[in-house]
Amino acid sequence: MEKRKTMSIENIPERPDFKCMVTDCKKDTWGGGRGMCINHYSALSFQVKVGKTTWEQLEKEGRSKPKLTSKVRGERRSNKNPFRVTWSHELRKYIWVKR
């Protein structure tokens, strides 16, 4: 059986599709949604909740991406991420393993 190659989280290359789509924002989109970081997503979702705008209007203006269903999100993640996290009993910590 072939040994799996492990890789630390620092060595995984950055992907440009995980960066916030707001101009001059360098944060990643983890925790946010619709292509934005958590700060910009929170600000725009507040505007939507108070009725100043709608997600459809923001999509037409190009200020947000369409909402992804969990099925599409899972397909995109499984196709793009060549690594998975697994528990190593020998090292007693989580490690990144190539699929």
Q: How confident is the model at residue 12 (pLDDT cuts 50, 70, 90)?
A: very low
Q: Identify the pLDDT of residue 4.
A: 58
**Residue 83 is encoded by which pair of tokens?**
């690594």
| pTM for the full predicted model | 0.54
Q: Write the pLDDT tens digit of every residue in 40-97.
A: 999 999 999 999 999 999 989 888 888 877 776 676 665 566 778 889 898 888 888 8
Q: Give the number of other Cβ atoms within 10 Å of residue 45's Cβ.
A: 16
The model's pLDDT over 29-56, given as tens digits with 9 standing for 90+, comes to 777 788 888 899 999 999 999 999 999 9
Domain ranges of the chain: 16-98
Residues 6+ apart with CB under 8 A from 58: 34, 44, 48, 64
